[in-house]
Amino acid sequence: MREPDQLPSTLNEYYQRARTGMSEENRAYFLSGAGNEETLIGNEQAFGHAKITPRPLRGMGGGSTETSLLGQTFSSPLLIAPFAYHRLLHPSGEVATAHGAEAQNTKMVLSAQSSAEIKQVRAAGNVCDWFQLYWMGSREVTLELAEMALAAGFSTLVLTIDAPVQGVRDREIEAGFRLPPEVSAVNLSGFAPPQFPALTEDQSVVFDGIAPTLPDWDDVAWLIQSVQVPVLLKGILHPDDAAKSLSIGAAGVIVSNHGGRVLDKAPATLDVLPAIVAKVGPKYPVLMDGGIRRGVDIFVALALGAKAVLVGRPIVCGLAVAGELGVSHVLRLLRDELEVAMLLSGCATLDDTTRDMVHLKL
């Protein structure tokens, strides 16, 4: 990976340079979405339709972006979303990303499909202590993976429930995307993966092969009871599912459609966020991701009730363009933009970003 002579100076320049600099395969894997990409595009469009009404002259003394979540203090309400195979973008992979996150004191959620060894990533900085996992086909194997993460020093688990099977990602198929031999989900090598049969003309083969390995609410409740740490559920889009998460003891939910990579036609996360927050109330931690590209987007999500947001593709672009420095710089730009948005709209603290300040054109 070539370190560029000069870093991009804006977020859009990162996105532009990453898009043009990536191989066609990487562009297809990291930047595309499922199907007609309606959900991928919809996530960003939803932010485009939201408008912020400023409330000047309210006094900005003691202002900050600090927030607390699950007993931990965060310097800003921004986390790095779990995404797979960082080593496709940079030789040090997730370790580089963790260093970039550490430089900005920003929480990073490590994907189960990390291409770097879990202990090395954990050692790269205190900020990377949330681990994302998928259901591994049975209670025992899923618990085994959770326990591996806890033994490696992770404090919090994020169970992703929206991707029991890979979405139909046309661009990846068309680009012939394949993992190169030197990149793999190294931490899963000791686990028998759930056997996902390839799509065939006989679609029932897909259904019959996968259905028995899928979890239900009882399985998820069992996992939550079986570990001694907070578990968040990622991939919630319906208010009733958020309420169910609360009732089975999940520590919080992440409103997410996997960045438009799974079910195309799933709603934009920003559009469903207010109803979910209304259902579970302001005390239950509701996080969200999907389509956040600028600081003003973070502001909008918080005003609509998210406690914090996660970003995926902005970090993909930072890592692709300039390794750990790029990750750190993208995080810094996002946070600076959030601070500017708060100052320009009269919000000294995140609690001041209120629902009445955001106009949604639905």
Ligand X SMILES: Cc1cc2nc3c(=O)[nH]c(=O)nc-3n(C[C@H](O)[C@H](O)[C@H](O)COP(=O)(O)O)c2cc1C
Q: How far is the CB of 260 from ligand X (least distance, A)?
A: 7
Main-chain dihedrals φ then ψ at residue 136, nearest 5 degrees:
-105, 25
- Concerning whether 258 is annotated as a catalytic residue, the answer is yes
Output 77 or 351, the one with its CB closest to ligand X. Answer: 77
Kindly report each contact of residues 323-326 with a partner whose C-beta sits within 8 Å and lies 24 or more positions away, as own/partner.
323/1, 323/3, 323/90, 323/92, 323/96, 323/100, 324/90, 324/92, 324/96, 324/97, 324/99, 324/100, 324/103, 325/3, 325/7, 325/100, 326/7, 326/14, 326/100
At CA 62, angle to CA 61 and CA 65, rounded to 5? 120
DSSP 8-state code for residue 108: E
The residue behind tokens 């990073």 is 108
Q: Which of 90, 258, 329, 359 is catalytic?
A: 258
Yes or no: say if 130 and 138 are a contact pair by the CB < 8 Å rule: no
DSSP 8-state code for residue 201: S
Q: How far is the CB of 210 from ligand X (least distance, A)?
A: 17
What is the total residue count of the chain?
A: 362
Give the one residue of 65, 132, 187, 328 binding ligand X; rule: CB under 6 A.
132
Strand partners, 63: none
**Interface characters, 74-103, with ligand X (x: CB under 6 A):** -------xxxx-------------------
Give the one residue of 17, 87, 258, 307 binding ligand X; rule: CB under 6 A.
258
Output 104 or 256, the one with its CB closest to ligand X. Answer: 256
Interface with ligand X (CB under 6 A), residue total: 23
**Interface characters, 275-314, with ligand X (x: CB under 6 A):** --------------xxxx------------------xxx-
User: CB nearest ligand X: which residue?
Assistant: 312
| Rounded-to-10 torsion of CA 51, 55, 60, 65 | -20
Binding residues for glyoxylate: 29, 132, 134, 169, 261
Binding residues for FMN: 82-84, 111, 160, 234, 256, 258, 289-293, 312-313
Output 57 or 167, the one with its CB closest to ligand X. Answer: 167
Site residues (vs ligand X, CB under 6 A) = 29-30, 43, 81-84, 111, 113, 132, 160, 234, 256, 258-259, 261, 289-292, 311-313
